[in-house]
Chains A and B, each alone.
Chain A
Amino acid sequence: MAADPTKLKVAKDLGRPDILFALARRKGSEHVFVGGSDFKLYDVDLAAAKPEPKAVGEHLSYVTSAALAGDDLLVSGGYDCRLNWWNAATAKPVRSVEAHTKRIRMVVASPDGKLVASVADDMACKLWDAASGKLVRTLEGHEALTPSHFTSMLYAVCFSNDGKLLATGDKTGRVCVWNVADGKRLAQLEAPGMYTWDPKQRRHSIGGIRSLAFSPDGATLCVGGTGQIGNIDHLDAPARLEAFDWQAGKSKLVLSTDGKHKGLLEQLIFSPDGKWVVGAGGGTAGVIAFFDIKAGKVLFQDAAPMHVHALAMNETGDKLYAAGHNKLLVWTL
């Protein structure tokens, strides 16, 4: 039966003492690796009646992201600027690389598992050979400073389903689309609505592009974050998605959750058939929303039980795995 976002239901809810930022799911399984504010990575079998997280290893600071390259290679990144490779099957460390000069924000693996991409506050996107851990290429196209002279941050990265494209998005709302094969920049897009700089009252910013996703056909690029906030002391604006026809360099539409559901979209994932894209995140409370890009509307939105920092989906698109504030969660739809 096809997934129905309106039937969204919490199937499993695991309380956690920590804040989870990283989530990687082993294909075709209920096995996830999570990591977060206690600096550690855990292996969790969500199929178990009472899942018991097993420690895999640790970073020197918050674990911000993790990805599985193929079935057995787990790559994690953190605020310690390091990328750590692990054997997912044995939970043994493979290598540790001082990958960036500043905090690593996100790590993704190419669909074929051969490449790993990482982004960090040094504003570089680095492509790594998953198997050897060798740096393949560094992609540089994001300004180090914001227009208001503060250091910028490079939060988000994603591959297209065919693995040929890579997109990166930063704090000020700039998006770059790259050709993976030769590292050429194919497009540069601007989503300034994601940048929440307050020039007068508070003189800082808290938003930025936090998530990216290509449609299955690679034609549409979705960007997730939050909308313009009046008082940036809080994540107090509806969550925001902007969709681009990236080849034409054009913004197609902007969709926002309603006033009840606020915060950042921390992760975006397209359904396998491309009919919708799900975004999850939050502020003080969690938010999950399903967007129909073609129809230009929000299909369904709801409060998530926690602020979600990372999201994964099963192959059939009817199950979601979420990691976030003091919780690990499974949804069915």
Chain B
Amino acid sequence: MRNRDAYRRFVAACALATFVFAAVALSASIAPANNNASSSAAPAPAAALEKLQPAERPIAVVVDHYIDARLASAKVQPAPAADDANLIRRLTLDLVGRVPTPLEVQEFVASRAADKREQLVDRLIASEAFADHQVNEFDWLLMQGQGNLRGYLTDAFRDKRSWDTIFRELLLADGADKESKAAIEFLKPRMKDHDRLTNDVSSLFFGVNISCAQCHDHPLAKDWKQDHFYGLKSFLARTYENGGYISEREYGLVNYLTPAGQQREAKVMFLTGRVIDMPKQAEPDNKAKKAEQEALKKLADKKLPPPTPKQSLRRKLVDTALSADQRDFFARSIVNRLWARLYGQGLVNPVDQMHSGNPPSHPELLTWLARDTAEHGFDLARLMRGLVLSKAYARDSRWPSTERPAAELFAVAQVRPLSPNQYAASLRIATSDPEMWSKLADDKTRMQRATSLANSARSWATSFAPLTDNFQVGVNESLLLANDARIWSEFLSDAGDRLVGRMKTIKEPRGQAELALTTVLARPADAEETQLLADYLSARKDRPLEAARQIVWSLLTSSEFRFNY
């Protein structure tokens, strides 16, 4: 076998990523964009915090303050505001996971109210669909299509539970009561591999992917880097599943090998470097372990819960992470993840690489938002409301002339692929009879109908390309849309409650074309494209129904419909 000097480059790359921990606490303060690694875990200087925008300012105002400041210094003039139809489509997709109905678009565009955007956002956030959409989003975030956490998440978001509560419940679930039975689904599938659990907890809740520090053959790694990985693992290594319950042992030292091959005992240490002093706990001998195993097996056979430990290290982890002087770290990750979801990329990118080697695009903004979120009880709805009310959120996504400015300036809205759930729900809404909505009694009924239609299409979600880094659409999706019989029958049906069914009642091609355009694309049709579709229809007078289906198909598969722009 060949040795490669490239290995050295690997080591260098890893070393960069493993600065993570040293600097995490620092980056929790206001590390300037160009400040590279420091191994100090000092708290944020108070003076720097004082320079932040005042705490009582509205989120949206602060967002624009910092975004505009950076644009000004980069001498970039941002894109103009998106038009109303574009904005309501973006907001409806982002907050309730579907495209708006034609009626919703009409009403929003027609409204002359000065605060119509706030009204819309509040109306969407107050709806049940908002909670349902968060369930979809967080289920994907936390479980990536594995396991079964939807039950818990549904309860959590319908109850408007805060993010710290959700974190606490997911990590401390033991399965003893009904509520907690649903919540153990986060830990349960991760019980086979504690290294993986450690990395998942670190990555999902703290935005720090620490798998690099697990690397045992890392010649340049300083021991504290491994200390952080195994320190976090120490909180989790005692946790086990038995008979469908989760519990913890009273013991469970984490040992690891240093690069030099030395055996080391991990401290119980949080990612910020905070060490938990633990009384020395002797490991039981093999006989005692065997007896414990047998006792556990008996309990499992009887479906009884395992014994509860005198003290839970998972609880220590949660308490530490949420303590007043550590919680910014926890707050920064969720702020960054929601920002990334709504703005197309994080203030720190990738969202699981929040370390000093990878500074935020807007450090003060991230710090301000994290502080604000922590001080307002980790209320996600409040945070999202603030984020979508900014000018930066509402810009047009076109940048027609010169080269597009760097994405991290947020000078122009990003074009974002719909999630599989958003696409499935939108297909169903957009192919419903557009006249139906005005016949429903009130807004509440309309929201409910839209939600039930969206949910009815959820099984389609697995057919579409999942959201990943470097997202791409593959041919499996295009072939499915092009040739699958169920796509045809479900979305291009000419039944009376469907778009194609409504188009049949219109004689004139232009009218049909316009109806299809406004319904599917949720905006007014322009003359050019209306003519294009009308010509297509006119050329197929011998098969008008097929032609109608085909133009709807071309709209459903268009990039405009497939993306949130």
**Direct A–B contact present (CB less than 8 angstroms):** no
Measured CB to CB, the residues of B under 8 A from A are none
